[in-house]
Each structure stands twice: as structure tokens, then as C-alpha cells.
Amino acid sequence: MQSLKIFFVLVLISPLAGCISSDRNDATRLDPYLVKDINSGYLSSNPSEGVPIHQTKFVFPASDGSNGTTLWITDGTEKGTNMISGISIDKNADYSDSPNFELFSFGDLVFFEIWYGSHSSFWRTDGSTASFMVDLNELSRNDHYTPHVIVDSNLIFSSSGSEYRYNLEEEALTRMGTYNEGMTNIFEWRGEFFFSDDSALYHLNPLDFSRELIFDFDSENSLDEPIFWHKIRNLNNQQLLFCVGEEDYFVNTHICEEIWLTDGTSEGTRLFKENPRSGSWLSSGVGEIVDFEVLHGDIFISTNTEHLYQLHMDGNQTIVRDLFPGKADRIEELFATDDLIYFDAYDGSAHWYVSDGTYEGTKRWGAGEGYPDVIYELDNKLVLGFDEQGTYLFESDSAKKIGNENWARTIIGLTSTHLYISGESNNDDIGTELWAIQF
């Protein structure tokens, strides 16, 4: 899970593009409320990054001062904030009173890893009680746990370079095998599961949980470096659209070298668009692809020069909007909700934009200055932060300012009903505790 590094956050909940203009800066004030003083008094419970469960509830680590750091659940009310029972941590040489938790949300279940130093174990909870699943350290394997998908009451997860299947009903563990990079980019599509491993696309057989090779890009690509995956999107429920490319170790990001399409078969997997290094795209003034998104069945790409483009199924592209006419601009990562695409663009300074895919509907939001960091994506919500901006809740046609700039706070999670914050109060009698904003 990524750590939270910024305090200034904008929450975007499917706003209407027509309501956003370049001078839109009006905002009313919305103050977070204290959910519960878990470690009562001036001491801190230090709630940290959590995950949603049952859509409207939130699971997070915190300490009440007497039980050490353990998991809690909240519905956004003081009465509905309680410790999850069943978690036992051996207080020996490998563990301490302050273990680390990494949480993974799977709808009505949360899987979590507890680790301290080189030792870790794997657990699950339904929000009321927790139960131990497996400790691979007992098998002389020392690694973290990465759950991927639940298929017919079987959790598929990776650890120690291997893949495992854990039957949640029978509580039985089966080792499935050792693979290159392990399962990544798992995507449920039309009731089936697809994933990548290093340079190949696979289908997960739901009967015996074996992997079926769809396409090996090493045999079709002359890149010197291994192939890495960037993003997978559903295109009109008929094809999957995805990017493959090289990993740039210097900037710790992935380069979108090629855009491919697949219908889930080897025969239906084909190269759709190659990133321009030379030739027709460069001669036509189109820059290198930085990112892509799908909105209402249409494909949009960002480039490192000039424009936001719509990419058509015949391979041609049209300009949606030149954001800075006469200047060399750069559009970076794209993020989509059901109705809009969000992105930042740079022409010497960075600005935040929103687009419905049309010229008129591509506009700048005045309060969004600087590069945003996306912290959370959930349902139709994006949580974003700007370097030197205040904190805003942006919903429909109104922007609401959250708290004030002098209040130390960190966003730790999001549900369909609340934004949760680990923060201090101006009241010295309360330490760092759990706060919330209700949508």
C-alpha cells in the first residue's frame, strides 16, 4: 500500500464539466468532525491507512494505549467505532507491541498482513472478528503476502515468489506454483479473470485455477528490456484495451510503448497503436503517448507535447483541445470516473483540468495548481492533492473547503459515505485521532 505524503487533498466526486471554469475558486467551509478519541486524553491513537469494508464501513490500525496497535472498524460514528476482536500477536523476539499492518479490501472481507522485522503472518476479518490464515515463515519462506482475487471461495495470493490458493470455507492452503513476476494487473471481465505475468497475458481457468497463455509479447516485441504493464481498461465490453512498455528505473515509472486490444483469445489479440519514436506520428505533430483512458466507450490519450487527443478505432486521432495554444505543453496521467476525465497539464506551471471528451467540456479548475498526487480511487471518486493548495471537497457544481491550512492532517481512507482523516485538533487535550467528513 502506498504511504500518504501530502496534507492538502481534493476530493472529486463526478463533477459536471460544464460547471467548471478557469476562474472557479468559490468555496464554502466544511469542517471535519472527531469520530472518536480512541486513546483518550492528550495521547494519540495514531490511526493509519485503512480500507473500506461493506462499502460504508472502514477498517484501520490504531492504538487505544492498552492493547497496542491493532485493527478497528468504524461507520463514521463514535458508537460505531470499535476494536476488531480475535487478533493475537506473539510478544516475542519477532513481534512488538506496535506491529505493522497492510490491508487489502475485498468487498465484505478484509485480508491483512501483520509483520514486524522479518516475520509476517496473513489474516482475514469480516469487520467483527479476525481469524488467522497462514504463516509462511513456518515453512522457511520469508516474504509479504499479496492477495489477488477470490474465485468460488478460493483466495489466490502470492508470497515468496509463489502463488497459493486458500479455500476460505475449508481453511486449506494449496501451493499453485512458482512463476516469473507473479500475477499482476488482475482484471475481471465478463465473469472471467485475466492477468499479466512479466511479458505475457494469461487467463485464469476457474475449474483448476491453472493459467492459460493468451499472448506472449516477448515473441512479438523487439524491446531490449522486459515488458511491463501499465493499465487495463474495458472497451465497450467487447475488448480489453491495455498498455505495455518498459520500466524506467530512473524515474520509477512505466513507459507506454504500445497500446493493444484483446477479446480474450490469442487470435483476437493485436497491436492497436505504437508509441511514436519516428515516422508518421512525429511528422504529424503528435507527441509520445503518456497515458490513456476510456470514457463512454471512446479512447483518449495524453501526450508529452501539445494536445489531448481522442484515439479512434481506425487508428486515427483528433485533437480534443490544445490547452495552451502557441506553447509547448505536456499532459500527464489521466484518471476517469463514469462521467469525466481528469488530468494535469504543464506549460511552465502545472494546472488541473477536467474533460467530458469535448472541446467545450475541457476546462481548467482555477483552484487546482501544481502537480496532484492521486491517493485513492474508489467507485466514482478520486482523492487528489496539490502541493500548495487548501483542502477541498468538490461535488457536483460546488467546491467546499475542508478545515484550514494550519490544521495538521493526513487522508487515510475513503468509503462510499465518508472521507477519513488522521489529524490533530487545536485542542491540546486531544492527540492525533480519527476524524471524518461525511459526503
DSSP 267-332: TT-EEEEEPPSSSHHHHTT---EEEEEEETTEEEEEESSSEEEEEPTTS-EEEEEESSTTS--EEE
E strand map for 304-404: 307-311, 317-322, 330-336, 341-346, 350-355, 362-369, 373-378, 381-385, 392-395, 398-402
Residue predicted with more confidence, 4 or 228: 228
The answer to which of 376-380, 398-402, 420-424 has the lowest mean pLDDT is 398-402
CATH of region 9-438, choose from 1.25.10, 3.30.300, 2.130.10, 2.60.40: 2.130.10
* Residue 375 confidence (pLDDT): 58
Reply yes or no on whether the pLDDT at 91 is more than 60: no
Average pLDDT of the segment spanning 347-354:
77
Q: Are strands 109-116 and 362-369 parallel, antiparallel or unpaired?
A: unpaired
3-13: b (≥16 Cβ within 10 Å) or e: ebeebbbbbbb
Cα–Cα distance for residue pair 188/242, rounded to 1 Å: 14
Beta bridge pairs of residue 422: 410, 434
CB contact at 8 A, 351 and 345: yes
Per the structure block, which three cell numbers stand in for 36?
472518536
Residue predicted with more confidence, 192 or 119: 192
Reply yes or no on whether the pLDDT at 404 is more than 70: no
Q: How far is CA 23 from the centre of its chain?
A: 30
* Residue 31 confidence (pLDDT): 75
Average pLDDT of the segment spanning 184-199:
85
Structure confidence at residue 214 as a pLDDT band (50, 70, 90): very high
* pTM for the structure as a whole: 0.82
The total number of residues shown for the chain amounts to 439
Reply yes or no on whether the pLDDT at 95 is more than 50: no
φ, ψ of residue 13 in degrees (nearest 5)? -125, 90
C-alpha closest to that of 230 among 212, 243, 247, 240:
243
Average pLDDT of the segment spanning 306-312:
85
* Residue 76 confidence (pLDDT): 97
The answer to which of 23-27, 99-103, 305-309, 421-425 has the lowest mean pLDDT is 23-27
> What pLDDT, in 10s, does the model give residues 169-183?
999 999 887 766 678
Amino acid at 98: S
Average pLDDT of the segment spanning 203-225:
76
Cα–Cα distance for residue pair 424/435, rounded to 1 Å: 9
Average pLDDT of the segment spanning 260-285:
72
Average pLDDT taken over every residue of the chain: 77
C-alpha closest to that of 286 among 276, 294, 271:
276
Reply yes or no on whether the pLDDT at 223 is more than 70: no
φ, ψ of residue 235 in degrees (nearest 5)? -110, 100
* Residue 372 confidence (pLDDT): 62
* Residue 4 confidence (pLDDT): 35
Cα–Cα distance for residue pair 32/393, rounded to 1 Å: 11
DSSP of 109-166, one letter per residue?
A: EEEEEEEETTEEEEEEE-SSBEEEEE-GGGGT----EEEEEEETTEEEEEETTEEEEE
* Residue 2 confidence (pLDDT): 36
SS3 state at 231: strand
φ, ψ of residue 291 in degrees (nearest 5)? -160, 170
Per the structure block, which three cell numbers stand in for 217?
509479447
Structure confidence at residue 247 as a pLDDT band (50, 70, 90): low
Cα–Cα distance for residue pair 260/275, rounded to 1 Å: 11
C-alpha closest to that of 105 among 154, 66, 57, 53:
53
